[in-house]
Structures are given as structure tokens and as C-alpha cells.
């Protein structure tokens, strides 16, 4: 089976300003926010907070026999999902690439998929295994954070399999725009996130990145970060045009699903200190 798989800095007032935190948004009459530095919160406590939902993918197993027109049916469903930007992966029967589609990973929840099928009066093929992404439980941008940004630069499609090399960099918010860099120099490219990443403001007034599926805090903007990569993401042409108009011109850097470096260390303390052995696997 084959598997395929982002001037003058006028800042938004916030709770952090009253604490005098350098790099966080400053008080005063404002339009858009700036946050280029942030202190590290207690990630151990944040990671212990309960998840929103179970975050599980759903699998709908196919069953034999293959219909005589399995090749035609599989290609039709492959093309439908690809046209919707909802094809995350595909598997093929047989020994080579010319076998019929027998598995499709979709960038939709099961409920979204069934509604889509019903709207188009299609019949789901029984011989193909379908998988569905977990629902997202948070909006892309919270009401609290919405007024401080010009545009939210995140994919409108769900995320499939990604490269997993551990990359380092930073993401900052400056005058309502998001800038990223690989390495720890001044972010100078237009940052772009995976669709599962959302923006919020925490209890101390800092802009944070949240996982929209689990609800967990992944980073405060301005922290040193890690992400898997090189990441990829679908960038809607109209959204790209709007990002460039609002915050560019400039090169777009896909940062995917960034995580604070300190959060990463809280999860894997042996990566900070090579003399600390990793915890044994849980049973």
C-alpha cells in the first residue's frame, strides 16, 4: 500500500502592559497589537489541563468485494476530495501504483463528510476505508484576540502527514501582523500556521497559540519555539493575497504548529539536559 500524503508599532493595551513586561503590548490608544517577547508560563500546569474532546480520528473500514469498476470509483472520490482540498492521504491496492484506491484519509470530520455526501446525493463506496479528522473545539481567533490583529494567517484546510525534523525559530506579533523566522534572529518573514492552530489571549494578557482540537496552550508569541518540518500547508490564494496586502509584501514562512521551546522541555526534560534519562514508556 502506498501512502501519500506573518512601521511604527502601535500596540494594543492588555493586562500584561500593567505588569510592565517588555515586548508585550503597551497601553495607550491603539489599533493593532505588538508582542515580541513574553515570559514563560507554567507549562507543566497548562499541559495538565483536561483536553477538549478526545481528539481521536475516526475510521470507517471498507469491506470486500471490490466492484468491477473499483478503479473508476476510487479515482472519482480521490478527485472529489482533492478538489475540496480535503485529501490528506490515499492508499492503493495491489503491488504497484496502478491498483484501485482502497483507503482515503480526509480533511473532514465524519459529520462534515456525511453532510457533504448527502448534499451531493452520492453513495459512499463500501470497499474503500475512509478516515476522518477530529473536530476542532475552538475558533481560529477568540473574541478577546480578534481586535488586535489585521488578519489570521492560517490554513483553511486540515493538516495531513508532515515532515518531523525538529526545527527552531520564533514567531512575533508586530502591529497586528505575524512574523516568523527559522533560527533565533529577528523574524522577518510572514508567518503562516496550520489550520489546527488558533489565537487567544491568556489570563495574564499575553497572546497565545492554542491547539484548536485539544484546547491546550502551545506557546506565547515572542517565545523561542520548535516545530516539526519543513512543514507544509494549503494556502488559499485569496488569503495569501490578503496577507500580502495587510502585512506584506514579503515571503511567507509556513511555521505549521509551533510549540514553545520551554513547553517542549517540560514534556521531554532529557532534551534540555542530556544527563537526564528519559522516562520509561508507560504500560
Select from 98, 95, 97, 100 the least CA-distant residue to 75.
100
Q: What confidence score (pLDDT) does residue 274 get?
A: 66
pLDDT tens track for 7-39: 332 333 343 433 334 444 444 445 899 999 999
Among residues 168, 136, 191, the alpha carbon closest in space to that of 260 is found at: 168
Band the pLDDT of 271: cuts 50, 70, 90: confident
203-252 confidence digits (pLDDT tens)? 999 999 999 999 999 999 999 999 999 999 999 999 999 999 999 899 99
Long-range contacts of 273-279 (CB under 8 A, 24+ apart): none
Q: What ranges do the domains of the chain cover?
A: 15-53+138-269, 58-132
Measured from the Cβ of residue 94, the count of other Cβ atoms closer than 10 Å reads: 11
Q: Cell numbers at residue 78, please?
A: 480521490
Rounded distance between C-alpha atoms, residue 89 and residue 82, angstroms: 10
The stretches of the chain forming alpha helices (DSSP H) are 15-18, 43-47, 70-83, 110-119, 143-146, 237-247, 261-267
> How many Å apart are CA 267 and CA 15, to the nearest integer?
28
Query: Distance between CA atoms of 266 and 47, rounded to whole angstroms?
Result: 9
Q: Hey, what's the cell of 45?
A: 500546569
What pLDDT, in 10s, does the model give residues 133-165? 999 999 999 999 999 999 999 999 999 888 889
CA gap 101, 2 in Å, rounded: 10
Decide if pLDDT at 265 tops 90. Answer: yes
Cα angle 2, 229, 241; round to 5: 100
Q: In what order do the strands lie in the sheet with 189-193?
A: 252-256, 189-193, 177-182, 165-174, 224-229, 259-260
Quick one: pLDDT at residue 24? 46
pLDDT reported for residue 94: 77
**What is the β-pairing status of strands 189-193 and 165-174?**
unpaired
Amino acid at each position: 500500500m502506498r501512502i501519500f500524503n506573518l512601521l511604527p508599532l502601535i500596540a494594543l493595551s492588555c493586562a500584561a502592559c500593567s505588569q510592565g513586561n517588555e515586548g508585550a503590548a503597551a497601553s495607550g490608544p491603539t489599533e493593532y497589537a505588538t508582542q515580541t517577547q513574553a515570559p514563560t508560563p507554567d507549562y507543566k500546569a497548562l499541559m495538565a489541563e483536561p483536553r477538549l474532546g478526545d481528539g481521536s480520528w475516526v475510521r470507517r473500514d471498507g469491506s470486500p468485494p471490490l466492484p468491477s469498476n473499483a478503479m473508476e470509483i476510487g479515482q472519482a472520490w480521490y478527485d472529489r476530495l482533492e478538489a475540496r482540498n480535503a485529501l490528506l492521504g490515499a492508499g492503493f491496492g495491489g503491488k504497484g501504483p496502478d491498483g484501485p484506491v482502497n483507503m482515503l484519509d480526509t480533511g473532514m470530520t465524519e459529520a462534515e463528510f456525511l453532510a457533504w455526501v448527502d448534499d451531493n446525493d452520492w453513495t459512499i463506496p463500501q470497499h474503500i476505508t475512509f478516515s476522518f479528522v477530529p473536530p476542532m473545539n475552538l475558533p481560529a481567533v477568540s473574541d478577546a484576540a480578534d481586535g488586535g490583529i489585521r488578519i489570521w494567517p492560517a490554513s483553511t484546510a486540515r493538516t495531513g502527514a508532515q515532515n518531523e525534523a525538529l526545527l527552531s525559530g520564533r514567531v512575533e506579533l508586530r502591529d497586528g501582523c505575524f512574523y516568523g523566522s527559522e533560527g533565533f534572529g529577528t523574524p522577518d518573514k510572514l508567518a503562516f500556521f496550520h489550520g489546527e492552530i488558533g489565537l487567544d489571549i491568556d489570563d495574564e494578557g499575553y497572546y497565545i497559540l492554542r491547539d484548536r482540537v485539544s484546547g491546550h496552550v502551545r506557546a506565547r508569541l515572542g517565545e523561542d519555539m520548535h516545530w516539526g518540518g519543513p512543514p507544509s500547508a494549503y494556502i488559499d490564494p485569496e488569503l495569501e493575497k490578503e496577507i500580502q496586502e495587510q502585512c506584506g509584501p514579503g515571503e511567507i514562512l509556513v511555521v505549521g504548529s509551533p510549540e514553545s521551546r520551554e513547553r517542549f522541555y517540560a514534556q521531554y526534560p532529557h532534551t534540555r539536559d542530556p544527563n537526564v534519562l528519559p522516562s520509561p514508556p508507560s504500560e
